[in-house]
């Protein structure tokens, strides 16, 4: 995770086990593959969900390994609220898109916070249930 502090790496080890579950709707687990190694990774992220997209804040910037992996692959899988979603078309977007996807308290937080790394938007569709 290039650019992320050591504390974030430790947090991720715990968060990846809790994120993506129904009782934590703002947290999801983003599954992606390394660009050169092909190794599978799971990264906890906060998501804003619309009926057709996920919008993810980039507090560590656009150059983190997971962002670069998702963009290189053209997508990823996100586990959110206990369900997997195939995600594609990773696109950098501005605060206006995040605000449009948010409501209530989350919207007020976004209005006040400077997310200098911007946001990543992914088109989504639920995977077929096994």
Between 107 and 26, where is the model more confident?
Answer: 107
What is the DSSP pairing of strand 53-57 with strand 119-126? antiparallel
Domain ranges of the chain: 6-126
φ/ψ of 81, rounded to 5, equals 55, 40
Give this prediction's pTM. Answer: 0.81
- 6-10, 21-25, 27-31, 76-80, range with the lowest pLDDT: 21-25
Reference 78, options 125, 119, 120, 118; nearest CA is 125
122: left (phi over 0), alpha (psi -120 to 50) or beta: beta
- Neighbouring residues of 68: CB distance < 8 A, sequence distance ≥ 6: 35
Question: Tokens at residue 119, please?
Answer: 């946001």
CATH architecture of 6-126: Roll (2.30)
Give the integer Cα–Cα distance in Å for 43 and 52. Answer: 21
Share of the chain above pLDDT 70, in %: 78
pLDDT in tens, 79-113: 999 899 999 999 999 999 999 999 898 899 899 98
Question: Tokens at residue 76, please?
Answer: 């990823």
Are 108 and 101 in contact, with CB atoms under 8 Å apart? no
């Amino acid at each position: 995770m290039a650019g992320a502090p050591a504390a974030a790496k430790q947090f991720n080890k715990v968060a990846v086990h809790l994120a993506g579950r129904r009782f934590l709707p703002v947290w999801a687990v983003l599954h992606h593959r390394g660009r050169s190694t092909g190794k599978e990774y799971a990264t906890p992220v906060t998501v804003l969900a619309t009926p057709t997209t996920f919008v993810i804040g980039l507090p560590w910037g656009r150059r983190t390994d997971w962002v670069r992996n998702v963009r290189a692959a053209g997508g990823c899988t996100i586990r959110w609220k206990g369900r997997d979603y195939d995600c594609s078309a990773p696109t950098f977007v501005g605060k206006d898109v995040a605000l449009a996807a948010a409501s209530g308290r989350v919207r007020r937080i976004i209005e006040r916070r400077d997310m200098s790394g911007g946001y990543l938007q992914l088109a989504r569709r639920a995977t077929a249930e096994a």
